[in-house]
Chain A
Amino acid sequence: MEITVKVNGADRSADIEPRMLLAHLIREEFGLTGTHVGCDTTSCGACTVLLDGRPIKSCTMFGVQADGREVTTVEGLFQDGQLHAIQAAFKEEHGLQCGFCTPGMMLTGSALLAENPSPSEDEVRWAISGNICRCTGYMNIVKAIQAAGRDLAADAETADAETADESVAS
């Protein structure tokens, strides 16, 4: 089947079998290997991507179901030569070790922050409870997501202040 998916902001087309999983479409057809497959049963969340902004597990969705929709993968977090706040926070707070769960974890975290910019520890833990990490014990992942929320809020304030300055200047 011919499909077109907007992947990280750009339209990508592929001719795939209907049974091909979305995770495999992303990895094998689009060559974006940051999306990992860890369990095949929707349990571990390593394959998490954003579909129209919502985190989903791409190992249990068909590629054809993404036709005409928008997919964000870990590769899409890096924009205009800049790390997303959540990427910087994961490094700063030591929120990753082997790195295998990290893309899914960051995408779930970024979706949480889009809805709830300053989540409590419990809110973060609940939001990422569909993403398993075997290395970190989650302590620093929670810290990283909360830190990213604060960084995004600070950036927004700076942007607001700049807009305000500009309006004063004009």
Chain B
Amino acid sequence: MASEVEEIRGIGHSVRRVEDDRFIRGAGNYIDDIHLPGMLYMAILRSPYAHAKLNGIDASAAQALEGVIGVVTGELMAQHNLAWMPTLSGDTEAVLVTDKVRFQGQEVAAVIATDPYIAKDALELIDVDYEPLGVVVSPDQAKAAGAPLIRDEKEGQTDNHIYHWESGDQDATDAAFAQADKIVSLDTWYPRSHPSPLETCGCIADVNPATGQATIYMTSQAPQLIRTVFALVAGLPEEKIRIVSPDIGGGFGNKVPVYPGYVVATAASLLLGHPVKWIEERSENLISTGFARDFWMRGEMALKADGTMTGLRVSLDADEGAFHADAQPSKFKVGLFHIVSGSYDLPAAHVTADGYYTNKAPGGVAYRCSFRVTEASYMIERLVQNAAYEIGMDPAELRRKNFIKKDQFPYKSATGFEYDSGDYHGAMDLALEKVGYEQLRKEQAEAREQGRLIGIGLASFTEVVGAGPHKDYDILGIKMNDGAELRVHPTGKAHLKISSQTQGQGHETTFAQIVASELGIQPEDIKVTHGDSDDTPYGLGTYASRSTPTVGAATAMVARKLLDKARKLAAHLLEVSEDDVEFEAGRFTVKGAPDKAVTIQDAAFAAYTNFPDGMEAGLEGVTYYDPPNLTFPFGTYAVVVEVDADTGVWKVNKMVAVDDCGVRINPMIVEGQIHGGLCEGFGIAAMEQITFDEEGNCIGANFLDYLLPTAWETPRFELGETVTPSPHHPIGAKGVGESATVGSPAAFVNAVIDALWPLGVRNIDMPLTSAKVWDAIQAAKTGAPSA
């Protein structure tokens, strides 16, 4: 009998994705695919200067162009008290400029027209009188005496400093350094990169002036949070705001913030009584929306002569751009950077961070990263490799000696995290075995004899994701707890509504699999709704690898809540006591009489047709999940490169990635996430950088200058896994979307530096373009200090 029961394709099954059916037919519904009756089009005029006083705007010629409905300026926005808006970091940000522009590409005015081409034409006709001011493009310039004051409109702001933040124990760390046998240091700049999802940002604001109902279709990774922000910014009643995230063409953190374009389009729709569509061009996306990284870091490690790590000190300057608009938990000014002690049993650590305003675009977003964990992981993994060489140990051996051991979990770190679980030795051993580490070291020695530069780089990262427990984690005071609502219909089919939003992660498939495992309903019988703030429970959105740790947990918990009721219904149908009912894979049986059974579908039908007296009808519920802790995915990546000393060109010969993200809901999707993260990590290590000249001109505002890896450059990836379930997550999962972007840049750079170390090269800041690698080799040859 049991053998006839169809296996439930729940957790652990590589179910093919339901969302693919529309995407492979070109039938997705992305923001620019939406057309509303009477829709107008908006285009934004942006500043050519990085810092300039605004003396005036003459929009009369633009206004006179046939097809132009209106021109919106900062002055008009100010009349509605909308010229400025709050940021997710508690700062303020200009919506449209009223006083001066503070970065190149800043929003100066907007044209609303009947046609997108006409809107662009009209931008050319707007005459703006700018008076250029001195420009600041780095933290060093920002803190220099006499530096131009960027935020002169902020009361009490007398310099360009934003915050000072510390974590860990300074005295204990100083003591560790005082007693150290060896101190190793590394200065490195993690340059500014950009998430660059293939779809740019955009919105359609549709405000009905008669009812006040505002429906805003928006490329947002966090529709519920954005609804609340809009209520606060615009003073609109929250029940009349509906944020709809349709299909999203990639996010990677870029689609978390509220951008001025969204606010202007909404104001324009309110004033004009028409839907207003605004779609960014790629150059606008690169020049003005949420960037990533831009941390100037110094790391120092104290060690005993035998290689035991005793202390870690890290200080950094963060280049935040013109407005402090990082999207991160309010308590932590540099996100979760204090995970910088990584995978190591470091008894003492101290982190200091200072944020500075510069004349660059705002919005330090976590580009496929849990709030600055990427920068932290890069620092510690680069520092550990340099420490190994300086102390005369193999980098794998130094790691092995200092890893937090399996039996030390839960482990309290020196900066205050409680690591939930881990097996760092297991993951590294598997990576070394798969890459053939010992043999490679022999081959490397032989190659060096022949003058060939082979390098082997490792990175054994520990991430911290799944923010978070309500005690410590909020954005603008809103606790980072997320919801899931589940309804089982009379016919036993189900509808799950979740607060997180997919941008390619496959939530419509994987979240159904979680319910499938809990209730024994096949995943294809479960519809998953997300992205519409009117039709989903509250939550803080999809970023920082938090969907599975928070919403995945909420989904399992709401399913369990429904199962409790279904069990009562089954007992009623089976005419036995609830205590005598057993449940497995969608079937309720009577203890000791396994032939007497009803299915979850029978119980669901009974919930509407045949429920006991005193029971409410229906089988549905909602749960908000407050995670007891964060989760700590980890892994070891190994990269083998060969560097051409004559040209600086480096090529990846092999890349092995061993990930431990706890229980894998859909192994196929997990591997896809890792592939994608590795590719983006490779891009950051090799080519992705947003550069500025001394005048603050952004030299990277298109894909001809901001290089993304194509299939041709991207290495092949070989994956491996270990599974250490999270002890506190209902299904043992940890989140995996960002591990590979967090862990891999250091592995690539470590491999190149490993190849070049004997030449005297100690560091090259990313991206490792062939020109920079060649320069470093030349500098080492001539004895000059390398970059």
> Given A20-B117, A83-B24, A132-B710, do A33 and B16 touch, yes or no (CB 8 Å)?
no
A136 contacts which chain B residues (CB < 8 A)? Answer: 672, 675-676, 679
Is the CB–CB distance between A99 and B28 below 8 Å? yes
Which A residues lie within 8 Å of B504 (CB)?
A: 97-99, 135
Contact between B20 and A73, CB atoms less than 8 A apart: no
A18 → B minimal CB distance (Å)? 11
Q: Count contacts on A: residues with CB < 8 A to the other chain.
A: 56
Contact B250 A100 (CB under 8 A): yes
Q: How close is A146's CB to chain B, nearest CB, in angstroms?
A: 13
Q: Are B676 and A135 closer than 8 Å at their CB atoms? A: yes
- B703 near A132 (CB under 8 angstroms)? yes
Given A98-B248, A137-B717, does the pair A124, B711 have CB atoms closer than 8 Å? yes
Within 8 A of B (CB), among A92-113: 92, 94, 96-103, 106
Whole-angstrom CA separation of A17 from B199 in the bound complex: 26
B33 x A137 contact (CB < 8 A): no
User: With A41-B704, A90-B24, A139-B717 given, is the CB distance from A99 to B19 under 8 Å?
Assistant: yes
Contact A97:B506 (CB < 8 A) given known A19-B117, A128-B711:
yes
Query: Which single residue of chain A is at the shortest CB-CB distance from B248?
Result: A98
The residue that A137 contacts in the complex, of B283, B505, B676, with Cβ under 8 A, is B676
Contacts of A73 in B (CB 8 A): 26
Q: Quick one: which of A7-64 are within 8 Å of B by CB?
A: 17, 19-20, 27, 32-41, 43-44, 46
Q: Does B738 contact A (CB under 8 A)?
A: no
B250 near A134 (CB under 8 angstroms)? yes
Chain B neighbourhood of A27, CB < 8 A: 32-33
* Chain B min CB distance to A95 (Å): 9
B687 to chain A: which residues have CB within 8 Å?
A: none
Is the Cβ of B675 less than 8 Å from the Cβ of A139? yes
- Measured in the bound complex, the distance between the Cα atoms of B25 and A99 in whole Å is 10
Closest Cβ of chain B: how far from A109's Cβ, in Å? 11
**Chain B hits for A33, CB < 8 A:** 26, 30, 32-33
Smallest distance from the beta carbon of A88 to chain B beta carbons, Å?
Answer: 8
Cβ–Cβ contact A98 & B199, under 8 A:
yes
B732: min CB distance to chain A, Å? 23
Q: How large is the interface on B (under 10, 10 to 19, 20 to 34, 35 or more residues)?
A: 35 or more
**Chain A residues with CB below 8 A from B716, complex form:** 139
Contact of B250 with A135 in the complex, beta carbons under 8 Å: yes
Nearest opposing residue in chain A for B279, CB measure: A37
A102 and B24 within 8 A (CB): yes
Cα distance A106–B20 when bound, in Å? Answer: 13
Pick the most buried of B20, B248, B252: most chain A CB atoms within 10 A of its CB: B20
A91 to B20, CA, bound (A): 6
Q: Could you tell me the distance between the alpha carbons of A41 and B293 in the complex, rounded to whole angstroms?
A: 26
A142 to B717, CA, bound (A): 12
Check if A98 sits within 8 Å of B711, measured CB to CB.
no
In the complex formed, the residue of A with least CB distance to B195 is A134
Most buried by A among B23, B199, B669, B712: B23
B712 touches A102 (CB 8 A): no
Decide if A129 touches B711 in the complex (CB within 8 Å). yes
Q: Are B117 and A102 neighbours in the complex by a CB distance under 8 Å?
A: no
- Whether B26 contacts A75 by the Cβ 8 Å rule is yes
Tell me which of A41, A91, A129 contacts B712 (CB under 8 A). A129
Q: Judging by beta carbons under 8 Å apart, are B117 and A17 in contact?
A: yes
Say yes or no for A130: interface residue by CB 8 A criterion. Answer: yes
| Residue contact B198 to A34, C-beta cutoff 8 Å | no
- A27–B17 Cα gap in the complex (Å)? 26
Residue with the highest number of chain B CB atoms closer than 10 Å, among A97, A133, A136: A97
B24 engages A96 (CB within 8 Å) = yes
Q: Let me know if A66 is at the binding interface, CB within 8 A.
A: no
B469 located at the interface, meaning its Cβ lies under 8 Å from any Cβ of chain A in the complex: no
A36 near B714 with CB under 8 A, answer: no
Measured between C-beta atoms, what is the minimum distance from B29 to chain A in Å? 8
CB–CB B712/A134 < 8 A: no
The one of B16, B199, B283 in contact with A36, judged by C-beta atoms closer than 8 angstroms, is B199
Whether A99 contacts B672 by the Cβ 8 Å rule is no
- Give the distance in Å from the alpha carbon of A126 to the alpha carbon of B252 in the complex: 26
Contact assessment for A137 and B675 in the assembled complex, using a CB-CB cutoff below 8 Å:
yes
- Asked if B668 is at the interface of the complex by the 8 Å CB criterion, the answer is yes
Evaluate contact between B702 and A41: CB separation under 8 angstroms.
yes
Considering only CB atoms, which chain A residue lies closest to B197 in the complex? A134
Bound form: Cα–Cα A38–B200 in Å: 7
Indicate whether B188 reaches chain A with its CB closer than 8 angstroms: no
In the bound complex, what is the Cα–Cα distance between A131 and B712 (angstroms)?
A: 10
**Which single residue of chain A is at the shortest CB-CB distance from B505?**
A97
B513 to chain A, nearest CB (A): 15
Closest A residue to B27 by beta carbon equals A34
Closest to B503 in A: A98
Q: Is B249 interfacial (CB 8 A cutoff)?
A: yes
Give the docked Cα–Cα distance between A73 and B26 (Å). Answer: 9
1/0 contact trace for B221-250 toward A, CB 8 Å?
000000000000000000000000001111
Interface: B196 (CB within 8 A): yes
Docked Cα-Cα span, A44 to B199, in Å, equals 10
B680 at the interface (CB under 8 A from A): yes
Say which residue of A91, A94, A106, A131 sits within 8 Å of B669 (CB atoms): A94
B472 interface residue per 8 A CB criterion: no
Cross-chain contact A125 with B676 (CB below 8 angstroms): no
Whether the Cβ atoms of B680 and A134 lie closer than 8 Å is: yes
CB pair B283 A138 closer than 8 Å:
no
- Cα A125 to Cα B32 in complex, Å, equals 29
Instruction: Indicate whether A87 sits within 8 Å of B24 (C-beta atoms), given known contacts A97-B676, A142-B711.
Output: yes
A147 within 8 A of B: no
Bound complex: CA A142 to CA B17 (Å)? 18
Cβ-defined partner of B25 (8 Å) among A43, A87, A101, A137: A87
Q: How far is the CB of B93 from chain A (nearest CB, A)?
A: 26
With an 8 A cutoff between CB atoms, is A74 at the interface?
Answer: yes
**B703 adjacent to A41 (CB under 8 Å):** yes
- Is the C-beta of A118 less than 8 angstroms from some C-beta in chain B? no
Min distance, Cβ A100 to any Cβ of chain B, angstroms: 3
Query: Do residues A39 and B703 form an inter-chain contact, with CB atoms below 8 A?
Result: yes
Contact: B668 with A94, CB < 8 Å? yes
Structural contact, A138 and B24, CB atoms closer than 8 A: no
**Interface contacts beyond A87-B24, A134-B197: sample of 15 additional A-B pairs, CB < 8 Å, sorted by A:** A33-B26, A37-B32, A38-B198, A44-B282, A90-B20, A91-B16, A98-B504, A99-B20, A100-B198, A124-B711, A136-B675, A137-B680, A137-B714, A139-B675, A139-B716
Binding site for A on B (CB under 8 A): 16-17, 19-28, 30, 32-33, 117, 196-200, 247-250, 252, 281-283, 503-506, 668-669, 671-680, 702-704, 708, 710-712, 714, 716-717
- Of the A-B pairs whose beta carbons lie under 8 Å apart in the complex, a sample of 24, sorted by A's number, is A34-B25, A35-B26, A36-B199, A38-B249, A39-B282, A40-B283, A41-B703, A78-B25, A87-B25, A97-B673, A98-B247, A99-B247, A99-B249, A101-B198, A102-B24, A125-B711, A128-B710, A129-B710, A131-B710, A132-B703, A135-B676, A136-B672, A138-B675, A139-B717
Which are the 9 A-B pairs with shortest beta-carbon distances? A34-B26, A99-B23, A100-B249, A98-B504, A137-B675, A137-B679, A74-B26, A97-B504, A43-B703
